[in-house]
């Protein structure tokens, strides 16, 4: 095991959010965790077996701080694989602070964000992808995101990947062994077997990488931009979708000047709807900035809802706007608004357009619109056990692994020398190792764990 724990000191942090609550939990982890807490507790914890809870009084000298329940976890059967103590106290910020301060005064150190999970990783209890999944579980905003993160946290990447990686390592060392023989023409690593192995790994990586499109949507949600001309009813639609008065609506064109966004869940997916300034040429400097912002957001959207005021627009005009939309190369839906103001025969002229007809102010046909939105995101239901790549860092590493493996294949076809071959194999292994953390740098670990909350 290359990664040894970097710190052996005993750390402490509240594991529950700040503020008043029924209960709060404080955790300590490290060699001194049990004896330190025991010194201030009414019972001797040094004799308490692992996974056992005890009710008692926490005292600073003669002063009672709180009545608490303390659970002892002995290494290696704890979250961090170190001795770990959980103190359940009353959920008062004052009590929590007093307890934390008491132990800091006597030698514990305040934990950094994610430090408990970092220790779990460094002590080999979980791999890096699983550690990252812990943060994803905590931050999951939809049921599907939670399920994907739980799967990753519990089982990590498939064992199959680890097995293929082991075999690749073997080849790397065989090829490198050949190099030691210098001039002599030896071949320990059978080239056709190496080729077979690489041809096995690439489809596997393709399979994992192909889940990222769905994984990214599941984890980060879908940025959906509501665009169109001023007064089309964009802000009214945003409010109708959110079921609240989020954006100002008025009959003055150019009401919305900045983007306004909010999230809702549709069909288990998180959508971020972004209301924008209406698209029109303008001499007003501020409105012009807003229009420019709209265009930027449209370029980065996963989906555009293009709203049309059917009482104003003409088919040739909409046809022209549709051409501009097509040029963006981003999925869009044409939404004809204000049907409440139209006679049935006036709808006739729009027959040629693939349009969803709604009335945003009357909330008519919004279900049809929601269905059309969901049709763009055919996400398979995530079942327990499914592996889905939701992490952009993993996705990047998978692509780089694949590129390096492709170079191995090309090199084999061209019969390149062993040292060049070894280099490409090493690179593939490096990128593969980045995912699970067999290859890490302090810098990478810092950036991953700093996103955690303190106490996790």
- How many CA within 13 A on the CB side of residue 87? 34
Residue 250 in contact with ligand GTP, rule: CB under 6 A? yes
Give the span between the Cα atoms of 200 and 255, in whole angstroms: 58
Binding residue for Mg ion (CB under 5 A) from 235, 337, 397, 438? 235
Please report, for residues 205, 238, 294, the alpha-carbon distance to residue 387 in angstroms, rounded to integers and kept in the order given.
Answer: 12, 34, 36
Out of ligand GTP, Mg ion, none, which partner does residue 29 contact, by CB within 5 to 8 A per kind? none
Give me the residue whose beta carbon is nearest to ligand GTP. Answer: 278
Give the span between the Cα atoms of 43 and 50, in whole angstroms: 15
Segment interacting with Mg ion, rule: CB under 5 A, options 85-93, 140-148, 173-181, 235-243: 235-243
Task: Considering the complex, state which of residue 208 and residue 291 has its C-beta at the smaller distance from ligand GTP.
Answer: 291
Q: Would you call 92 exposed, middle or buried from its count of C-beta atoms within 10 A (0-12, 13-18, 19+)? A: middle
Residue 258 in contact with ligand GTP, rule: CB under 6 A? no
Nearest approach, Cβ of residue 236 and ligand GTP (Å): 3
Query: Is residue 298 within 8 Å of 223, Cβ to Cβ?
Result: no
Give me the residue whose beta carbon is nearest to Mg ion. Answer: 256
Out of Mg ion, ligand GTP, none, which partner does residue 427 contact, by CB within 5 to 8 A per kind? none
Give the span between the Cα atoms of 88 and 21, in whole angstroms: 12
Out of ligand GTP, Mg ion, none, which partner does residue 81 contact, by CB within 5 to 8 A per kind? none
Copy the structure tokens of residue 348.
């006739």
Binding residue for ligand GTP (CB under 6 A) from 44, 244, 292, 340? 340
Segment interacting with Mg ion, rule: CB under 5 A, options 58-66, 156-164, 247-255, 304-312: 247-255
Query: In the stretch 109-128, what mask flags binding to Mg ion with x, by CB under 5 A?
Result: --------------------
> Cis omega before residue 76 (within 30°)?
yes
Query: Is residue 401 within 8 Å of 428, Cβ to Cβ?
Result: yes
Give the span between the Cα atoms of 140 and 219, in whole angstroms: 7
Nearest approach, Cβ of residue 317 and Mg ion (Å): 19
Residue in the structure block whose two tokens are 């090829």: 175
Q: Which 352-381 residues touch ligand GTP, going by CB under 6 A?
A: 359-362
Residue 256 in contact with ligand GTP, rule: CB under 6 A? yes
Residue 259 in contact with Mg ion, rule: CB under 5 A? no
Copy the structure tokens of residue 244.
């609240």
Residue 331 in contact with ligand GTP, rule: CB under 6 A? no
6: three-class secondary structure by DSSP? coil
Nearest approach, Cβ of residue 379 and ligand GTP (Å): 29
Give the span between the Cα atoms of 455 and 99, in whole angstroms: 14
Nearest approach, Cβ of residue 245 and ligand GTP (Å): 11
Task: Considering the complex, state which of residue 113 and residue 278 has its C-beta at the smaller distance from ligand GTP.
Answer: 278
Residue 321 in contact with ligand GTP, rule: CB under 6 A? no
Strands of 245-329, DSSP E: 260-266, 269-275, 303-309
SS3 assignment for 212-257: HHHHHHHHHCEEEEEEECCCCCHHHHHHHHHCCCCCCCCCCCCCCC
Residue 349 in contact with ligand GTP, rule: CB under 6 A? no
Query: In the stretch 204-243, what mask flags binding to ligand GTP with x, by CB under 6 A?
Result: --------------------------xxxxxxx-------
Residue 256 in contact with Mg ion, rule: CB under 5 A? yes
Q: Would you call 439 exposed, middle or buried from its count of C-beta atoms within 10 A (0-12, 13-18, 19+)? A: middle
Segment interacting with ligand GTP, rule: CB under 6 A, options 124-132, 197-205, 254-262, 429-437: 254-262
Residue 255 in contact with Mg ion, rule: CB under 5 A? yes
Nearest approach, Cβ of residue 287 and ligand GTP (Å): 9
Spatial CA neighbour of 165 closest among 442, 452, 435, 455? 435
Distance of CA 149 to the CA centre of its chain: 8
Give the span between the Cα atoms of 378 and 27, in whole angstroms: 42
Task: Considering the complex, state which of residue 364 and residue 427 has its C-beta at the smaller distance from ligand GTP.
Answer: 364
Q: Which 287-326 residues touch Mg ion, going by CB under 5 A?
A: none
Query: In the stretch 23-62, what mask flags binding to Mg ion with x, by CB under 5 A?
Result: ----------------------------------------
Out of ligand GTP, Mg ion, none, which partner does residue 340 contact, by CB within 5 to 8 A per kind? ligand GTP
Query: Is residue 307 within 8 Å of 234, Cβ to Cβ?
Result: yes
Task: Considering the complex, state which of residue 10 and residue 235 has its C-beta at the smaller distance from Mg ion.
Answer: 235
Binding residue for ligand GTP (CB under 6 A) from 30, 113, 278, 411? 278
Give the span between the Cα atoms of 375 and 371, in whole angstroms: 6
Q: Which residues bind Mg ion (CB under 5 A)?
A: 234-235, 255-256
Q: Which residues bind ligand GTP (CB under 6 A)?
A: 230-236, 249-251, 253-256, 277-278, 337-338, 340-341, 359-362
């Amino acid at each position: 095991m290359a990664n040894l724990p970097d710190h052996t000191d005993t750390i402490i942090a509240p594991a529950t959010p700040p503020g008043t609550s029924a209960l709060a939990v404080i955790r300590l982890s490290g060699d001194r965790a049990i004896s330190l807490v025991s010194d201030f507790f009414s019972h001797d914890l040094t004799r308490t077996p692992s996974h056992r809870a005890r009710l008692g009084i926490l005292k600073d000298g003669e002063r009672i701080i709180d009545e608490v329940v303390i659970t002892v976890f002995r290494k290696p059967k704890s979250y961090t694989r170190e001795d770990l103590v959980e103190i359940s106290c009353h959920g008062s910020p004052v009590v929590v602070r007093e307890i934390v301060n008491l132990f800091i005064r006597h030698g514990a150190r305040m934990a950094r964000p994610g430090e408990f999970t970092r220790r779990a990783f460094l002590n080999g209890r979980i791999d890096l992808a699983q550690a990252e999944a812990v943060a994803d579980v905590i931050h999951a905003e939809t049921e599907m995101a939670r399920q994907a993160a739980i799967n990753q946290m519990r089982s990590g990447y498939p064992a199959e990947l680890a097995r293929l990686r082991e075999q690749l390592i073997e080849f790397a060392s065989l090829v490198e062994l050949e190099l030691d023989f210098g001039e002599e023409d030896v071949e320990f690593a059978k080239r056709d077997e190496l080729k077979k192995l690489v041809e096995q790994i690439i489809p596997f990586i393709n399979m994992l990488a192909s889940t990222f499109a769905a994984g990214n949507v599941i984890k980060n949600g879908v940025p959906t931009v509501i665009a169109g001309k001023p007064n089309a009813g964009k802000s009214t639609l945003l409010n109708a979708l959110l079921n609240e008065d989020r954006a100002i609506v008025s009959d003055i064109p150019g009401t919305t000047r900045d983007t306004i966004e909010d999230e809702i869940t549709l069909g288990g997916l998180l959508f971020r709807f972004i209301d924008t300034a209406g698209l029109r040429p303008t001499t007003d400097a501020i409105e012009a900035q807003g229009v420019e912002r709209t265009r930027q957001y449209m370029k980065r959207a996963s989906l555009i809802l293009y709203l049309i005021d059917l009482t104003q627009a003409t088919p040739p005009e909409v046809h022209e706007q549709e051409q501009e939309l097509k040029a963006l190369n981003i999925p869009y839906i044409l939404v004809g608004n204000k049907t409440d103001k139209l006679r049935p025969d006036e709808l006739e002229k729009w027959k040629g357009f693939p349009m969803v007809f709604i009335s945003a102010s009357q909330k008519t046909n919004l279900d049809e619109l929601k269905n059309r939105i969901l049709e763009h995101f055919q996400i398979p239901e995530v079942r327990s056990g499914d592996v889905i790549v939701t992490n952009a860092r993993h996705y990047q590493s998978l692509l780089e692994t694949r590129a390096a493996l492709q170079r191995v294949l090309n090199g084999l076809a061209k019969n390149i020398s062993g040292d060049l071959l070894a280099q490409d194999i090493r690179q593939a292994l490096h990128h593969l190792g980045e995912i699970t953390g067999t290859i890490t740098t302090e810098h990478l670990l810092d950036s991953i764990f700093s996103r955690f909350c303190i106490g996790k």
